[in-house]
């Protein structure tokens, strides 16, 4: 009787190679099914919040949900972009040169969205 259970044999490498290819194929198939399912959804209403919709469907479309912050956070016109750049110029000045890019972005985001809250409202973070 011949034993094929030799540690480090060529079959181990072959099995690992096949497992990696199958995992990649399964991931591609899962992604394709997720995109197809999303495309089959009815469009949301014009007044509905797309961020809320994605939050409600994040379990159903987990791969696509990872893309939401990247693409739904894009500024859609140059006017608001110019306002943000102007506000950033007021935030990052000679007196605040040690402010990191991340913190400056956070301060700018807060300053930009401050108008969404009614006056005399305390916001807890």
Q: What pLDDT, in 10s, does the model give residues 47-74?
A: 888 889 999 999 999 999 998 888 787 6
Q: Is residue 27 part of a domain?
A: yes
Considering the domain architecture, whether residues 109 and 59 belong to the same structural domain is answered as: no
Q: Which residues contact 58 (CB under 8 A, 6 or more apart)?
A: 65
Is residue 1 in some structural domain?
A: no
Closest CA to 54 of 68, 41, 37: 68
Q: What CA–CA distance (Å, rounded) separates 84 from 48?
A: 25
- The reported pLDDT for the residue numbered 71 is 79
**Residue 106 tokens, joined:** 């956070």
Checking if the pLDDT of 124 tops 50, the result is: yes
In this structure, is residue 121 part of a structural domain?
no
How far apart are alpha carbons 125 and 6 in whole angstroms? 58
Q: Same structural domain for residues 36 and 82?
A: no
The C-alpha atoms of residue 8 and residue 10 are separated, in whole angstroms, by 7
Inside any domain, residue 5: no
Range of the domain at 36: 10-72
Do 89 and 60 share a structural domain?
no
Each as own residue / partner, the long-range contacts of residues 36-42 (CB below 8 Å, 24 or more positions apart, any chain) are 37/61, 38/64
Instruction: Answer yes or no: is 123 within a domain.
Output: no
The total number of structural domains that make up the chain: 2
Same structural domain, 85 and 54: no
38 against 6, higher pLDDT: 38
**pLDDT tens-digit map of 67-110:** 888 878 766 555 666 777 777 777 777 666 677 778 877 777 77
């Amino acid at each position: 009787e011949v034993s094929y259970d030799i540690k480090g044999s060529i079959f181990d490498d072959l099995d690992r190679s096949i497992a990696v290819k199958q995992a990649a194929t399964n991931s591609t198939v899962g992604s394709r099914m997720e995109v197809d399912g999303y495309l089959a959804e009815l469009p949301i209403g014009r007044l509905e919040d797309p961020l809320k919709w994605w939050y409600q469907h994040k379990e159903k479309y987990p791969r696509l949900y990872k893309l939401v912050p990247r693409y739904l956070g894009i500024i859609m016109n140059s006017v608001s972009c110019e306002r943000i750049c102007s506000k950033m110029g007021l935030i990052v000045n000679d007196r605040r040169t040690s402010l990191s890019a991340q913190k400056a972005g956070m301060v700018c985001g807060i300053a930009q969205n401050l108008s969404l809250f009614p006056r005399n409202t305390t916001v807890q973070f």
